[in-house]
Amino acid sequence: MTKYSFLLIVLITLFGCKNKPAATVEVTDVQTPFVWENANIYFMLTDRFNNGDTSNDLSFNRKDDAAILRGFKGGDLKGVIAKIEEGYFNDLGVNAIWMTPIVEQIQGAVDEGTGLSYAFHGYWTRDWTALDPNFGTKEDLKKLVEVAHKNDIRIVLDAVINHTGPVTETDTVFPENWVRTEPQCSYQDYATTVTCTLVKNLPDIRTESTENVELPAHLVEKWKAEGRYEQEVKELDAFFAKTGYPRAPKYYIMKWLSDYITEYGIDGYRADTVKHTEESVWQDFKSVCDAAFDEFKANNPEKVIDDNDFYLVGEIYNYGISGGKYFDFGDKKVNYFDDKFTSQINFEFKWNAAQNTYEDLFSRYSNILNNELDGFGILNYVSSHDDGQPFDAMREKPLESATRLLLSPGSAQIYYGDESARILVVEGANGDANLRSPMNWDAIENDVKTQEILAHWQKLGKFRSNHPAIGAGVHKMISQEPYVFQRTYSQDNFNDAVVVGLDLPAGEKELSVGSMFNEGDLLYDAYSGKEVFVKNGKVFIKTPYTLVLLGKTKISISSPYISF
C-alpha cells in the first residue's frame, strides 16, 4: 500500500456566493490501495535482464556453443535485486515483477530445428525443489523478495506443471508413470491439445493421473548426494497426510511449487501452458497455493505486504477478453476463471490496440471487466517472450505502445525492454530468440532518444500505479473532440478519479472535467508536473505535450530522465 502524507490547502470559491468566505479543506494520510486488477507487472526473462554475478554464468559445465540468443547470457537474481535497489522499477511505476522460472533446469542442450538451445528461458525443469545456479541461490531469492516488498513490489514466479525438460545425453527421462513421450499434440480439439506432448522430446506430465507413484530414481539419487533426501521425503509425507491427495505426479509438483510461497512469501504465480492440462489441475493448484499463502501470512505477519489474496494468472494461449470466462477448443469450452485463476493473459490486446480507436478499446474493455469478468482480471501486453506478432515489432511506435497499454482497463504487462524500445528482430536469430535479446542498458544510459521513450513510460506507469481507477475503474468518455475521458474507482473508504486527455494540441489546452471534480479543486498533471484549478467544469493548461493526466494526487518521480 502506497502512502502519501501531506497537507493540501484548497481555496474553494462557491459559484454565485461571492460574499461567502473561502473554505479550507485538509486532506491527510491518503492511502492508495494496490489491486491486482490495476497492476503494473514487469515481465522479464531472468537470464536476459541484468547480470549481477558473473561467476555463475555457465553452471553444470554448460557451454557457450548455442545458436544465436539460445544460450545463457548471465542474467540472475542478484541483477534483479540491484535494479530494485537502484529504483529502476519504482521510477517506472512497477508494483509487481514476474520472472521466468528459476528452478533447476536440464543441464544439456537440444536442437529443436532452430539451432542448439539451452534452458536459459527456465521452462525445461529438471528439479522443482532447487534453484538453477545460473539464476542464483535460495539466499538470493530470499533477499529478492525482502527487497522487493520493502519497495512495495510483489514477486510473481512462473509455475510449470505440464511438462519436464527435454531428454539429453546428461538429462534422463522421468519414469513412464510420471510422463508420456507420445503422441505429439495436433491441436485439433480438447483431447489433442491436452493428452499429448507440446512438441517432440518434451515429456508431458501425466496430469490426469491419480495413481500413487514413487519418486523418480534420478531425483532420489540427486537428493541423497546433496544430503537432503530424508528432509524432502519428510516434507512430502507431511504434505500428503495434510491434503489427502494421492501421490500422483501433479501433486508432487504442486507441493514443490507451494514451498516457494511458504518459505519465501512470493505473492503470485503465472501458470504456464494452462490449456494443455485438465482444468481440474488448476482448481487443485489454487487450493494448494491459497493454503500455502495463508500459512506464510500466519507465520510471518510482519512480512505481509498487503491484504490481497495469492495471485494466479493463467497462460491460456490465444485466450482473448472477447471470450469472457471461456476458452473455446472447438469441441469444448472451458472456464478457467471460476475457482482457478485470478486473471488471464489477454492475447487479444495487441490486435485490439492496433485496430481500435482509443475510445472503442477503452470502453469495450471497461464494459466487459465491470460486467462479465467482474471480480477477475486480464493481463494486457504489447510484446512477450513467445508471441512472434507483437504490436510494434520494429519498435516504431514505442510512445503509442505505452499510451495504449498503460491507460487501458485491466492489468498491464511490461515486457522487459518495452520501456526502452529493446529490439525484437535480431540478425541471425531464429523464431522466438528474436524476442529475447539482452536488456539494452547501454542505450538507456547513453542514448537520448531511448531516454525520452523511457521517460514517457515512466510518467504513464507512475500515474497508473497511483490511480487504481485506470486499470480497475469504470471508463466514461467526456468529449470526443478533443478526446477526454474519465475513470472512477471505489473500494471500501477509498475513492479515486482521473481525467485523461489524448491527442491534444501542444501549447494551450482547455479540457472539460465533466462532473468528476468540484469548482476550485486543485489537480495535478502527472505528465507535465503542473498544477491546475477547476473552473466552470474545465481546466486550462499550457504544456508542450499532447496528453494530460489529471488527478488529485501529486506524484513524485525521481527518474534522472524526467524534469518538471
Active site amino acids: 272, 315
- Does residue 482 have a cis peptide bond before it, meaning omega lies within 30 degrees of 0? yes
Whether residue 147 contacts residue 250, with contact meaning beta carbons closer than 8 Å, is answered with no
Residues counted in the chain: 564
Whether residue 488 contacts residue 514, with contact meaning beta carbons closer than 8 Å, is answered with no
Pairwise CA distance, residues 521 & 340, whole Å: 43
Pairwise CA distance, residues 459 & 91, whole Å: 8
Partners of residue 104 on adjacent β-strands:
127
Q: Which amino acid is at 91?
A: D
Cell of 464: 497508473
Other residues' Cβ atoms within 10 Å of the Cβ of residue 540: 12
Whether residue 402 contacts residue 456, with contact meaning beta carbons closer than 8 Å, is answered with yes
307: left (phi over 0), alpha (psi -120 to 50) or beta: alpha
Pairwise CA distance, residues 479 & 510, whole Å: 12
Whether residue 178 contacts residue 191, with contact meaning beta carbons closer than 8 Å, is answered with no
Other residues' Cβ atoms within 10 Å of the Cβ of residue 550: 27
Query: Which residues contact residue 194 at a Cβ distance below 8 angstroms, ignoring those fewer than 6 apart?
Result: 275, 276, 277, 278
DSSP string of 385-421, one letter each residue: SS-SS-TTTT-S-HHHHHHHHHTSSSEEEEETTGGGT
Pairwise CA distance, residues 457 & 336, whole Å: 32
Pairwise CA distance, residues 170 & 108, whole Å: 6
Pairwise CA distance, residues 201 & 198, whole Å: 9
SS3 151: coil
Pairwise CA distance, residues 61 & 74, whole Å: 14
Cell of 191: 483431447
Query: Which residues contact residue 78 at a Cβ distance below 8 angstroms, ignoring those fewer than 6 apart?
Result: 52, 53, 136, 140
Q: Which amino acid is at 260?
A: Y
Partners of residue 269 on adjacent β-strands:
157, 312
Cell of 293: 499463502
SS (H, E, C) 262-319: HHHCCCEEEECCHHHCCHHHHHHHHHHHHHHHHHHHHHCHHHCCCCCCCEEEECCCCC
User: Dihedral, CA atoms, 104, 106, 112, 115, nearest 10 degrees?
Assistant: 90
- Does residue 183 have a cis peptide bond before it, meaning omega lies within 30 degrees of 0? yes
